[in-house]
């Protein structure tokens, strides 16, 4: 896969994860406390993936 294709893929993944995170944040107010705890854990996982995508994007700028 060439660098441009990889960058586009990373940007797509970043857009998808951030949209999902925003949707989850909007839903939080409707959940019970136990459900909120589960959702927050999932949101933390999503932020880790977002950080990974950002790091990979930064690396791709060096090439």
pLDDT digits (tens, 9 = 90+) for 3-48: 788 899 999 999 999 999 999 999 999 999 999 999 999 999 999 9
Six-digit token string for 44:
């933390």
pLDDT digits (tens, 9 = 90+) for 46-58: 999 999 999 999 9
If one counts the domains in the chain, the total is 1
pLDDT of amino acid 44 = 98
Six-digit token string for 15:
């857009």
- Residue 46 near residue 21, CB atoms below 8 Å: yes
Domain residues for the domain of 7 are 3-61
The radius of gyration computed from the CA coordinates of the chain, to the nearest angstrom, equals 15
Could you identify the residue written with the tokens 């409707």?
A: 30
Residue 63 has pLDDT above 70, yes or no: no
Under 8 Å CB-to-CB from 59, ≥6 apart: which residues? none
């Amino acid at each position: 896969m060439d660098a441009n294709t990889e960058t586009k893929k990373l940007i797509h993944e970043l857009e998808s994860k951030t949209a999902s995170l925003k949707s989850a944040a909007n839903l939080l107010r409707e959940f019970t406390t136990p459900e909120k705890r589960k959702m927050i854990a999932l949101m933390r996982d999503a932020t880790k993936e977002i950080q990974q995508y950002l790091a990979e994007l930064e690396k791709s700028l060096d090439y």
